[in-house]
Amino acid sequence: MYPEAFDWLFDTGVRFYKIRLADNQNCTILLRVLMTNKPFFISYNKIVPNVLGVKTPNIRRLFCVPKYPANIKSYFKYFKSNYSIWL
């Protein structure tokens, strides 16, 4: 997300934000979104982002399979290894 897009979204009154995988370590964008105090989704694939060490209920982590088109087995493998769920 580039700064102009953030400003535009903020001005339109969006209820939540979604941080793309490529920006999940972008401190500038993360700080701006955190300062809105609105819920946001943050994409990740292998490493769960720390989000600047902040603990807030506004953060929702969104698993992203980095291969497109995503194979459904990729999701099964992820959930099985990270949540001990048999699918």
pLDDT at 50: 67
For residues 55 and 85, the model is more confident at 55
Confidence tier at 64 by pLDDT (50, 70, 90): confident
pLDDT tens, residue by residue, 76-87: 766 666 665 554
Enumerate domains of the chain plus CATH numbers. Answer: 3-83 (3.40.50)
Determine the Cα–Cα distance for residues 15 and 86; give it in Å rounded to an integer.
34
Beta-carbon count within 10 A of 29 CB: 20
Task: Give per-residue burial for 48-63: e unless 16+ CB within 10 Å, then b.
Answer: ebebeeeeeebbeeee
